Amino acid sequence: MAEKSGSKESSVELREKIARSRELVVRDLGGLRYELDLPLKFKKAFQRHTVLWVGSALAAGLLVALLRARTHKVYLSAAGKKVRVPKKALLESGLLLGALKLGVTFLQPLLISYLTKQAAKKSASARRQWGR
């Protein structure tokens, strides 16, 4: 029933070969686990290059703080006094959009009923033409 293997190695040699291959696999997996351990890598990198990490964190914080700072435009009159520029344009456009939305909301049923009546008329005339 069972066939004999074609290898001429004894069972002891095969076991030794299997044990060596297991050791290689275990060693390779240990190396892979070490390479994929990112928290340990960051910790060691911080321990080796502390000044670099702290300096880059300060630079990043300073960059974010400077990017967030906004300049304020100050307008001066001919006499050298501050002049306030009214921001009516934004208020007017918002008011206009609000009114437009409200108007569309109220006119939508009228527009839809008009369009359905027109479509019904066109379909009725088309049916009459095809019915001839």
- pLDDT of the chain, 132 residues: tens digit per residue: 556 666 677 888 889 999 999 999 999 999 999 889 999 998 999 999 999 999 999 999 998 888 877 777 777 777 777 777 666 666 778 888 888 888 888 888 888 899 899 888 888 877 777 765
Bin 70: left if φ > 0, else alpha if -120 < ψ < 50, else beta.
beta
Pull the structure tokens for residue 90: 């934004």
Residue 64 vs residues 54, 56, 68, 97, 99: alpha-carbon distances, Å: 15, 12, 6, 35, 39
Provide the 3-class DSSP secondary structure of residue 82: strand
Residue 126, pLDDT score:
74
Contact by Cβ (8 Å): 85, 75: yes
Extract the tokens encoding 2. 């069972």
Specify the DSSP class assigned to residue 83.
Answer: E
In the chain, where are the structural domains located? 10-68, 90-123
Which string of b and e fits 95-113 if b means at least 16 CB within 10 Å?
A: eeeeeeeeeeeeeeeeeee
| pLDDT attached to residue 3 | 64
- Cβ contact 18:26 at 8 Å: no
First to last CA, the chain: 88
